[in-house]
A and B are shown apart, each in its own frame.
Chain A
Amino acid sequence: MILLLCPYCGLRNAAEFRYVGEVSERPDPNETGVEEWRSYLYARNNPADWTTETWYHSAGCRQHFVVERHTMTNELRASQLPAAQLRDESEERATGGNAASDGGGAIY
């Protein structure tokens, strides 16, 4: 079983997490056609290589975060908060809000 690095809770057994899926850029729903939207919904890169994906710490802090994982070996590196959340927090930081740890690091 693999260990995942939660940016909030540290190293935890993968059984504590729920796999969400590949990170992909969501097209603007107001600007996209049906075909492109469905391609975003269903098509996957599914690489046999390094991939960036979202996990959810369901039995822990219940936060979403992003990891890089090699799908052939399940080797992990670089955990971080989702891009949208990072943006929010950098704004918070600018306004004197409370920022979370940045996680990161090569982990098996």
Chain B
Amino acid sequence: MRASKAIKAVLRAATSSVGPDARNGSKNGHKPYRYSAFDLLRHGFSQADWPRAWRKHDLKSSYDVVVVGGGVHGLASAYYLANSHGITNVAVLEKGYIGSGGSGRNTAIIRSNYLTPEGIRFYDRSVKLYETLSADLNYNAMFAQRGHLTLAHNDSSLRTMRWRAEVNKLGGVDSEVIRPDEIKKLVPFMDTSEDVRYPILGALYHPPGGIIRHDAVIWGYARGADARGVHIHQNTEVTGIDVAEGRVRGVRTNQGDIKTDTVVNCTAGWSTLISEMAGVRMPISTFPLQAAVTEPVRPFLDPVIVSGTLHVYVSQTDRGELVFGASVDPFTSYSMRGSLEFTEGLAGHVLELMPSLAKMRLLRQWSGLCDMTPDFSPIMGVTPVEGFLVDVGWGTYGFKAGPVSGETMAELVATGKTPELIAPFGLDRFGRGNLMGEKGAAAVGH
């Protein structure tokens, strides 16, 4: 008894540095707080508050770079600017809280088995960055590479799968077409019988694909960026962008004006509106995409299941919930209200694949905004307005591209040269008529 009291006293002394004033970030300058085993034990005993993972700052009147949008793209761009290029006088402006847009609404699927060589190269770099992300950020993002199955229900999709597999292999991405009996081994609950409405003829199997804890990715990048001196401003909405003589001069927000030479538009859903503030027109239409989650059950589903024909994707989280997503709604809208029609269609399609889920209950549904481009590829890089850069048009593939987009946009800002990896995704491709045709995107029915 006395020994435990003594231990507590020692621990209290050790935790005294974590006082109330330390709540706004760690006390030792910009050094990030380490979540070590010793700290975990110490906090367990002392019950003291953990320090904030990122700090609150006053809005400065000028920044070298202003990133609009505090999602995975904006925070990753800021992180790589500070970490890889030493540009730390950066502000990330977020109108809500960080990760409140598409980054917190997606279904957290990571994969790189796209169809165009440019797409494969780009998304594969992202998968590689995700693989080491937890270690790089010292923050567990729980990336689980459980494999990714894209089902084919008819001859033409099977042909597309074969095409994709071969292009993937050429690009060094692990991807192959497997037969129904092999699918059955991976997913015993799947109905692979032949006498159903949509029989499964095969699947594109992509072992490195998987799911991640999307909130942790946002928080990890925010924490890493903050530790390197980036200012994250939440509840700060951009109301205007000042452009004079063809170049960016500043940004106006509801919290005050900022002078800057470089603005990076990393928004999703609102990207057309932000670009319009700088006078740049975009080939983007905004569609809502609905998703839903069930009550948690014991783990039974390992890989991520996608069916383009049935417009549904299913994965089981580490908590045991099944996460369902669909294709985008049939018409453009900024409204994020769910519809009964979606839930009905979704449930029907999921039961088509796994009839044993019939008794499971949906916990909630939500939707996010997808900025669709005519060729299912993003729009990245420079615009006709000097200093106004875009990282937008992320449709249904934005989250999986977060790290590589941050890395390449940071390189573009720092060097002024468009990295080769994103050169095919420039805004000028529409004027030149060089569209991408990425038929491997989730929104595309095969």
Contacts and interface: CB of A to CB of B under 8 A. Distances in A.
A94 interface: no
A19 interface: yes
A44 B371 CA distance: 11
Contacts of B433: 34, 38
B430 to A, nearest CB: 5
A38 B340 contact: no
B268 to A, nearest CB: 13
B273 interface: yes
B273 A43 contact: no
Contact of B286 (A21, A39, A46): A46
B431 A44 contact: no
B283 interface: yes
A79 B286 CA distance: 22
Nearest to B342: A1
A46 B431 contact: no
Q: Which of B273, B281, B332, B339 has the most CB of A within 10 A?
A: B332
B55 to A, nearest CB: 32
A44 B388 CA distance: 19
Contacts of A71: 286, 332-335
B29 interface: no
Contacts of B282: 43-44, 46
B341 A73 contact: no
Contact of B341 (A1, A22, A46): A1
B290 interface: no
A12 to B, nearest CB: 14
A48 B286 CA distance: 9
Interface string B37-66: 000000000000000000000000000000
Interface residues of A, number: 24
A76 to B, nearest CB: 11
Given A38-B431, A38-B433, A48 B283 contact: no
B283 A43 contact: yes
A44 B270 CA distance: 13
Interface in B265-284: 270, 272-273, 281-284
Specify the main secondary structure of chain A where it touches its partner. mixed
Contacts of B281: 39, 43
B272 A46 contact: yes
B335 A73 contact: yes
Contact of A19 (B283, B284, B331): B331
Contact of A46 (B284, B330, B337): B284
Interface in A3-47: 14-15, 18-19, 21-22, 34-35, 38-39, 41-47
B374 interface: yes
A95 B126 CA distance: 65
Contacts of B283: 42-44
B285 interface: yes
Given A38-B433, A42-B430, A46-B285, A19 B332 contact: yes
A59 B270 CA distance: 32
A83 interface: no
B179 to A, nearest CB: 36
B334 A72 contact: yes
A101 interface: no
A103 B138 CA distance: 62
Contacts of A1: 339-341
B431 A15 contact: no
Contacts of B270: 48
A90 interface: no
16 contacts: A14-B331, A34-B433, A41-B374, A42-B430, A44-B283, A44-B285, A46-B272, A46-B284, A46-B332, A47-B273, A48-B273, A48-B334, A71-B286, A71-B333, A73-B335, A74-B333
Interface of B: 270, 272-273, 281-286, 330-335, 337, 339-341, 374, 430-431, 433
Nearest 4 pairs of A and B residues by beta carbon: A19-B331, A42-B283, A46-B272, A43-B281
Given A21-B285, A38-B431, A44-B285, 19 more contacts: A1-B339, A1-B341, A14-B330, A14-B331, A15-B341, A22-B285, A34-B433, A38-B430, A39-B431, A43-B430, A44-B283, A46-B282, A46-B284, A46-B285, A46-B332, A48-B270, A48-B334, A71-B286, A72-B334
